Amino acid sequence: MTSEIELAITLAIMIAEAGLIAFCYYRAKQPPDPLKPRIINYGLVMVFLGLIFLATLAHAVSLITGTQVKPRRKRGM
């Protein structure tokens, strides 16, 4: 039951992150207004949100499968 709640919260956070990425994409594609300079670099914000989204996705996969996602590397190095 606890993992179901954690999974629901994780999926809600992923939906919010995807919404923020879509909003940043929309704002980045608007033409610049010379009288109103942009304070936020929306392209850079999208990159950070994408990285956070991938980390949240890895967390959701670990909740679904029950095992942690580990990087693949050769042993003995």
Global confidence as pTM: 0.80
Measured CA to CA, the distance from residue 16 to residue 47 in angstroms comes to: 15
List helix spans (H) across the chain: 2-29, 42-65
* Tens of pLDDT, residue by residue, the chain (77 residues): 667 899 999 999 999 999 999 999 999 999 988 898 889 999 999 999 999 999 999 999 988 888 876 777 777 65
Locate 50 and state its tokens. Answer: 């994408």
53 Ramachandran zone, left/alpha/beta (phi>0; psi -120 to 50):
alpha
Query: Is residue 62 within 8 Å of residue 19, measured between CB atoms?
Result: no
Query: Is residue 7 within 8 Å of residue 56, measured between CB atoms?
Result: no
